[in-house]
Structure 1
Amino acid sequence: MLTTHPFDDDKLREECGIFGISGAETASAMVALGLHALQHRGQEAAGITSFDGRDFHTHRAMGHVAGNFDRDDIIRGLPGSTACGHVRYSTTGETALRNVQPLYADLASGGFAVAHNGNISNAMKLKRNLVRRGSIFQSTSDTETIIHLVATSTYRTLLDKFIDALKQIEGAYSLICMTPEGMLACRDPLGIRPLVMGRLDKAIIFASETVALDVVGAEYIRSVEPGELILVREGEIQSIRPFGAVAPRPCIFEHVYFSRPDSIVDGSSVYSVRKAIGAQLAIENPVDADLVIPVPDSGVPAAIGYAQESGIPFELGIIRSHYVGRTFIQPGDKVRHLGVKLKHNANRALITGKKIILVDDSIVRGTTSLKIVQMMREAGATEVHMRIASPPTRHSCFYGVDTPERAKLLAAQMNVAQMCEYIHADTLAFVSIDGLYRALGEAKRADIHPQYCDACFTGDYPTTLTDQDDLAPEDQFSMLAERVN
């Protein structure tokens, strides 16, 4: 059964998006709208928790935000002026309602709800210690570890308990938490996962991307800074710095693929950065051709940048239908190939007899590129040149991104020439790591203190990976899959 389009399957996927608002009359409705804007960050499940000043209310469901949170009765069942929400995507880990966030627990200090974007790289070790001390886990999500660390902390105030919990975890996290004392939002010390703050009238909003602020009509204030903890209580904002200062390492792939192009990430327009990457790609890897064609939709801005820099015309050589949802058809190569054309089809009249440059954001397993090159040749292209707006993806991510095990990453098994032969392209080239940094406004990648987390390209992980280091190699990826948010 073909449940998703093969072109979409061969992508790295951000595993969740979060949105929270404090001080709004229709808080849960605002959260639902914000989650709509973040749907691209997680399409498996969604949840919203609200607080009415006395009680917490939660609705969680499998599937998209639309259909689950566009009913008046559900929104009415989530009263209160404070609410937070979460959209989830997981890999081969357990798909179950108990893992859908926000997660909620009744602590000695009162209710505690948490929505988490990221991955805790020492969650398994922490969980083993907590279970030995009597903690009973209700999910397989690493996020629940945070709740138990708060619950078992010996510090007196809830804020101190929360800070104590944060100081015990490793990895990447952006968190929005709701408590009777106020809303908490924080970002890990390296700022690996994004989080922004906005204002709508008197309400304060936190979201994974600025596009979610745009949807609800909120004003963008700033990014939550790496290592910053913000407490919102009765309209007042308190900024706390519980960690020592370190050089930030935000995820570079937010600029390449994860974020929507109409978002602002760490002060930079995602759309403008992607165009700049495409221009850098053209400078580094020119080729004589008739047309520049994006692989829709993620390759479009980079293809525009490539075309503008090279002077080669930009054209839509692959047409994507946005009106086809999931297609349920029986297996079989022939029928499956026909199913591909329901969503993407070659613009044959444009392509026939032309030398073309295909621009895509990344190559993961290589299955997408193989299909696209084949489609272009069947449409009559005389030459097919592939240009990729990121360096080769050679390493798995352990910070909240769905990445195949390293053995399934094409660039980890082949050099560029071998990859080119595998996808049947005439030529294949990637933007360099220094070129990617230049597109982001840096002179080049700093070898000693890189400005971004680029571990998927370089293998330079910015944090310790306790759980991975404790496992045998054959067990590492399966463990990672069970801990996704």
Structure 2
Amino acid sequence: MLEDAGGHVRDADDDQMRLECGVFGAWNVAESSAITALGLHALQHRGQEACGIASFDGQLFHTERHMGHVGEAFSGTDLVHRLPGRYAIGHTRYATSGASVIRNVQPMFADLEASGIAIAHNGNLTNFRALHTQLVAEGSIFQSTSDSEVILHLVARSRKGSMEARFIDALSRIEGGYALLALTNECLIGARDPLGIRPLVLGELDDAYVLASETCALEMIGARFVRDIEHGEVVVISGKRTLRSSRPFPAARARPCLFEYVYFSRPDSVVNGRSVYDVRKRMGACLAQETGVDADVVVPVPDSGVPAALGFAQASGIPYELGIIRSHYMGRTFIQPTQGVRELGVRMKHSPNRQVLEGKRVVLIDDSIVRGTTSRKIVRMVREAGAREIHFRSASPPIKWPDFYGIDMPDRDKLLAARKTLAEMQEILEVDSLGFLSVDGLYHAMDAGPRDPVHPQFTDHYFTGEYPTRLLDREIAEGRNDPVERQLSLLVTA
């Protein structure tokens, strides 16, 4: 077992990146908990370990939090009786084994003197440990190890008058990437971090408003997309249909997360005005232009490599085929008791289509390479199915740096591209050639032109090492933060 950049424990053979969560909120919607459950179902890809819903019926708050999938937790005709009301927020979460406990599941709820408040949070706070240490020293008692609970404490301790003002006061203390929803007895609040690292969208359902991490959740419930919540924006929905917007913090350049397009968002979502599916196809086309090779067939690693493989095939003229078939019925809790069985585990998820692969020169397309463990297993499987040559292509640049904004990613010494040269990686993966999309190629696929080295248009630190915010907790852990400066940073509040 290994510990990742977020302090979680993960299996050494686990080569999959995960996003921490997805959020959904509905205001003044009939059967809001059922609508929220449907929205969370569409966001299941953003978190598959746990889920929760908090509703308000006009007098009382009701909450349910469960381990497992949305369909398992919130099925049944009694859902609207268990969670009544026209107001609700929900959350679907991924947690590694070290943090997969019910006390960390959201939404988190607290009774304050003026109102109850439930919070759902997508992303990570990069000053969580610093704030947690200060709050505990001042008498706060925490019930979880989630950074979301810090926000609740900051709201509770704020001396501002209204709940909205207290929420904004709390936002002024936190750093990192986030999309936040808060439900009170008077309003639904949505907020996006000042750089827009994590996504949040506004939709309209009949005469009501909904908020969600992705547009695919709006499609699921039949809502109309209105617009993206802007970076640094706070929206407050109240009454029957009142929506107010504010930008309470100094203006900053937007830098949305590129991995929303590379991997995390659903292909049918539109994120920050860009179709995820179209971007991924263009990534494949750019990859073909940069790393073209003579081959017989282009094969995606399903499902995330499919759009890029289509783009690669169309740009190169090489036929596209499904040479790997993915099983969608693999159990989440399958036990792998021995190394021998563990080595066969990849075949539970991916099976070779021998008729497509045998005797062929194969271009194998995946969205990215993290540790390389799963990629090597897939290569061996394709080779055993008779492929004559295997040319592995990654539709993203080499991942060389960890993330601290909501992506569960290994530390740098566990990232293959951070430790090895291209030739060494090619040998480790046992492929005939290896190629990656360049950073400029990815920017071109985003229709953003070349990367601006002074003011990058996106959050791209996992490729470049240039983090968009300071990493206070990391600085403290590494002894790079002066105690006086740290204390001053914690006291910069209203």
What is the TM-score of this pair, normalised by structure 1?
0.94
Matched, 1:424 2:454: no
Residues 6-17 of structure 1 aligned to structure 2 (within 5 Å) = 9-17=14-22
Q: Is the 8 A contact 2:33 2:79 kept in 1?
A: no
Structure-1 separation of matches of 2:173 and 2:72: 38
Matched, 1:40 2:16: no
**Structure 2 counterpart of 1:100:** 105
Structure-2 separation of matches of 1:249 and 1:12: 20
Matched, 1:362 2:368: yes
Q: Is the 8 A contact 1:11 1:363 kept in 2?
A: no
Matched, 1:137 2:134: no
Matched, 1:393 2:399: yes
Structure-2 separation of matches of 1:388 and 1:304: 13
Distance 1:113 1:437, change over 3 A: same
Matched, 1:280 2:286: yes
Matched, 1:459 2:465: yes
Structure-2 separation of matches of 1:335 and 1:147: 44
**Structure 2 counterpart of 1:476:** none
Matched, 1:305 2:317: no
Structure 2 counterpart of 1:83, from 81, 88, 105: 88
Structure 1 counterpart of 2:219, from 214, 220, 244: 214
Structure 2 counterpart of 1:245, from 247, 251, 257: 251
Matched, 1:236 2:247: no
**Structure 2 counterpart of 1:482:** none
Structure-2 separation of matches of 1:270 and 1:84: 25
Number of residue pairs matched by the alignment: 470
Structure-2 separation of matches of 1:40 and 1:7: 22
**Structure 2 counterpart of 1:3:** none
Matched, 1:174 2:179: yes
Cα deviation for residue 96 of structure 1 reads 1.2
Cα deviation for residue 68 of structure 1 reads 0.7
**Structure 2 counterpart of 1:27:** 32
Cα deviation for residue 14 of structure 1 reads 0.8
Structure having greater relative contact order (Cα 8 Å, sep ≥ 6): 1
Structure-2 separation of matches of 1:292 and 1:304: 8
Opposite residue 245 of structure 1, the aligned amino acid is A
Structure-1 separation of matches of 2:467 and 2:201: 24
Distance 1:293 1:449, change over 3 A: same
Residues 100-119 of structure 1 aligned to structure 2 (within 5 Å) = 100-119=105-124
Distance 1:330 1:120, change over 3 A: closer
Opposite residue 70 of structure 1, the aligned amino acid is S
Opposite residue 133 of structure 1, the aligned amino acid is E
Opposite residue 151 of structure 1, the aligned amino acid is A
**Structure 1 counterpart of 2:298:** 292
Q: Is the 8 A contact 1:359 1:387 kept in 2?
A: yes
Structure 1 counterpart of 2:74, from 69, 73, 81: 69
SS class of match (1:130): helix
Cα deviation for residue 127 of structure 1 reads 1.3
Pick which of 216-225 and 128-137 moved more.
Answer: 128-137
Q: Is the 8 A contact 2:346 2:374 kept in 1?
A: no
Segments of 4+ moved more than 4 angstroms: none
Structure 2 counterpart of 1:378, from 369, 384, 390: 384
Residue-by-residue CA offset, 1:205-245 (whole Å, 9 max, x unaligned): 00000000000000000100000000000110000110111
Structure-2 separation of matches of 1:126 and 1:198: 33
Residue-by-residue CA offset, 1:132-166 (whole Å, 9 max, x unaligned): 22211111100111111111112222221111110
Q: Is the 8 A contact 2:268 2:275 kept in 1?
A: yes
Matched, 1:60 2:65: yes
Structure-2 separation of matches of 1:323 and 1:91: 21
SS class of match (1:116): strand
Structure-2 separation of matches of 1:191 and 1:326: 32
Opposite residue 318 of structure 1, the aligned amino acid is I
Structure 2 counterpart of 1:165, from 170, 180, 183: 170
Unpaired runs of 5+ in structure 1?
1-5, 474-485
Opposite residue 331 of structure 1, the aligned amino acid is P
Opposite residue 430 of structure 2, the aligned amino acid is H
Distance 1:409 1:339, change over 3 A: closer
Structure-1 separation of matches of 2:475 and 2:258: 24
Q: Is the 8 A contact 1:16 1:89 kept in 2?
A: yes
What is the TM-score of this pair, normalised by structure 2?
0.93
Cα deviation for residue 324 of structure 1 reads 3.3
Distance 1:292 1:258, change over 3 A: same
Distance 1:244 1:432, change over 3 A: same
Structure 1 counterpart of 2:359, from 353, 357, 370: 353
**Structure 2 counterpart of 1:445:** 451
Residue-by-residue CA offset, 1:265-295 (whole Å, 9 max, x unaligned): 0001000000000000000001000000000
Opposite residue 404 of structure 1, the aligned amino acid is P
Matched, 1:471 2:477: yes
Q: Is the 8 A contact 1:230 1:240 kept in 2?
A: yes
Cα deviation for residue 359 of structure 1 reads 0.3
Cα deviation for residue 437 of structure 1 reads 0.2
Structure-1 separation of matches of 2:429 and 2:313: 23
Q: Is the 8 A contact 2:34 2:79 kept in 1?
A: no
Structure-2 separation of matches of 1:153 and 1:328: 46
Structure-1 separation of matches of 2:148 and 2:59: 24
Cα deviation for residue 7 of structure 1 reads 13
Q: Is the 8 A contact 2:27 2:210 kept in 1?
A: yes
Structure-1 separation of matches of 2:85 and 2:12: 41
Structure-2 separation of matches of 1:287 and 1:241: 49
Matched, 1:342 2:348: yes
Structure-1 separation of matches of 2:50 and 2:258: 25
Unpaired runs of 5+ in structure 2?
1-10, 480-494
SS class of match (1:79): coil
Structure-2 separation of matches of 1:327 and 1:379: 28
What is the RMSD of the two structures over their aligned residues, measured on CA atoms?
Answer: 1.7
Structure 2 counterpart of 1:412, from 413, 418, 441: 418
Residue-by-residue CA offset, 1:149-195 (whole Å, 9 max, x unaligned): 11111222222111111011110110010011200001011000000
Q: Is the 8 A contact 1:189 1:227 kept in 2?
A: yes
Structure-1 separation of matches of 2:319 and 2:255: 36
